[in-house]
Amino acid sequence: MELFESYKIDLKNLTPGVHEFSYLLEDKFFMDIDGDQVREGKVDVSLRVKRSFMMSEMDFQIKGVVKVLCDRCLDEMDQPIDTTNHLVVKFGREHAEESDDVVIIPEEEGIINLAWYLYEFVALAIPLKHVHAPGECNKEMEAKLKMHTARDWSDEDSHAEDGEEEFPAGTDPRWEGLRQLLKNDNN
């Protein structure tokens, strides 16, 4: 049996109308697909397929949690996933992608394997920046990071209030001239 056999849908033999499918993507799925973004997780997928004569519209509701590395401390963290995706599948002569959400499959086959699409939908739902909640990062790694940088990582997402200094303490003193120019412009 093919590795991702359960993710195949025979659209050619699907009767016109609306059909519902569901999938549970767990660690084995992510390990088997061998993508570089996600290796572990538990994600529920609800799929609604609206089949017509020459095409099928697929609406995916994807919700769950995947494990990713924290950008700051490099420890694993849980990243919630909650996304909806739309895919249009048309029949044609050969496999092709008209756009990001329109796929053509050979009419004589009429089968689409959704495994890679499901993986991509999950991977694209992961934010570019993934960091533990404040206080949950690996303390040892945070200490090493602080030792090698002048930036205060404990207050990363805060911004200087009006009138407060925007440069962290311990910055290169050669920037003092620029700092004074900026202060003069604000006054």
Is the pLDDT reported for residue 36 higher than 80?
A: yes
Give the burial class of 91: count Cβ atoms within 10 A of its Cβ; 0-12 exposed, 13-18 middle, 19 or more buried. middle
Neighbours of 90 (CB within 10 A): 15
pTM value? 0.75
Statement: residue 5 has pLDDT above 50: yes
DSSP 146-182: HHT-SS-GGGTT--PPTTS--SPTT--GGGHHHHHHH
Show the beta-strand stretches assigned E in 32-95.
40-51, 55-69, 76-92
Separation CA 77–CA 133 (nearest Å)? 10
Beta strand 102-106 with 96-99 is: antiparallel
Q: Any idea which of 21-35, 42-56, 126-140 has the lowest mean pLDDT?
A: 126-140
Residues in a beta bridge with 49: 19, 58
At which residue do the structure tokens 């739309």 appear? 86
The model's pLDDT over 102-114, given as tens digits with 9 standing for 90+, comes to 999 998 899 999 9
Quickly state the pLDDT bin for 1 (edges 50, 70, 90).
very low
Q: What is the per-residue pLDDT across 150-184, written as a single tens digit (0 to 9) for each?
A: 655 555 554 444 444 555 556 677 777 777 888 77
Helix (H, G, I), strand (E, B) or coil at 14: coil
pLDDT of residue 169: 58
